[in-house]
Amino acid sequence: MVVGDVTTAVDVLVLGAGPGGYVAAIRAAQLGRHVTLIDQGLPGGTCLHQGCIPLKALLSASERYQQIRSDNLASIGIHAEAVSFDWASMQTWKQSVVDRLAEGVRSLIAGNRVEYVRGTGWFMNVQEVRVEGEHGSHRFKFEHCIIATGANSASFSGLSYDGKQVLTPEQALKIPELPDALGIVGDDYTALELATLFARLGIKVKLYSPREQLLSGVDPAALRLVQAGLRKLGVQTTTNATVDSIAERPLVISLGACPRTSELHLDSVGIETAGNGGIKVNSMQQSSLPHIFAIGDCTGGQALASIAMKQAKVAAEVLSGQHVQYAPLVIPLVVHTTPELAAVGYSTQEAIKAGYNIVTGRFTFAANGRALTLGTDNGVALLVANADDGSLLGATLVGPRAGDLIGQVTLAIEMGATLTDLSEILYAHPGLSETILEAADGALGRAVHMLAKA
């Protein structure tokens, strides 16, 4: 590439190489488009390098440490003495996971012949983007553009992130030394996972929720199990907290995300945005300019990598002439706490509020053979269905591997399955998925492994 203000014509230009951007680039390339992918950092974005993957890796490591130290091991005849952990080594292992996945992403980009350019881009007009980066200043004239610039951690008035006393979730995962105590502000899954991680490692964690309830919309019965798990870890929770009155330091703030769009010069080309800066899109991910698409966190919607990746495929396929749209019936939520929580579709309260005549099913993990053999019987499977036709409306699972189990229920809802459909499937025994079977049977009034209510 020639250094200087020259113009290169490209077919598809993708701004941002996070989970949405690199997937969009690869899918467009698979469909025969010539793609240029722009990002100032490494492929994989925040999710891979600073967020989702690092957090889940550290949660996994801390879970193993907690399990070894727990009384449950002694009850099954295993005695571990003088167990300890090394935070620096844990960080090194975490980084090895990130590096391995990052190399995989780089290989996929190269293997699909996507051109990768390091730099920061913004719109000059409706057909051109200027990029400042490692090759100086360059202009790209595109046929189609996909914006996938992600989001930043939402700021809070009066507090600035310094990475030491006030931290974003991403900064908290990279602190060189663990403090004795830590404050966390937030009520979303990230806040709860951070509280779980650090409490498992012996840090005194105070969790401040700005609202009355953690995880808004989650079934209260399931939430009580999660809150009990946090208390068992020693996490102190305060609801209806006022952030500016919290004296705890260091303090991690997890109050959502702010679309990263302010430096794209969207107003100069007429791309419409919402009040939060998110780019307005239709069901085909098109902005107010049909040849310019936006996906993932930069649209201002729910900040989940799974959403970004699905929207990425939709955008790439639409600009390639396919008739598709982003229209999932439900979006699963997974929270890696102790116990783990996963939910999809309506909770009981939400289904009633939506006007459904409902029937519910419930089965405790304490009566599941596989859960007992794993020594993790603290959990429940809750199903919500339409009483008129038995169609499944939602599910909440709390217990071991809830995040893996929720995929079965997600598919069931998307396929229009009924309680009877769930009941008729053969489940491996002993298996955690049998909790779903038992909950479905309970809702149908034919449960075998639990007594019917009088």
Catalytic residue set: 429
Per the structure block, which two tokens stand in for 89?
A: 């080594």
CB atoms within 10 A of CB 77: 6
**Nearest of 415, 351, 414 to residue 383 by alpha carbon:** 351
CB atoms within 10 A of CB 212: 9
Which CB contacts under 8 angstroms, 24+ apart, belong to 300-303? 300/259, 300/273, 300/274, 300/276, 302/331, 303/151, 303/256, 303/257
CB atoms within 10 A of CB 98: 18
Whole-angstrom CA distances from 266 to 122, 250, 258, 261, 415 are 8, 36, 16, 8, 39
Cα separation, 393 vs 350, whole angstroms: 10
Q: Where are the beta strands (DSSP E) in 224-357?
A: 236-238, 251-253, 257-259, 292-294, 333-335, 341-345
Task: Say how many residues make up the chain.
Answer: 454
Beta bridge partners of residue 342, listed in sequence order: 334, 397
- Indicate the DSSP class of residue 44: T
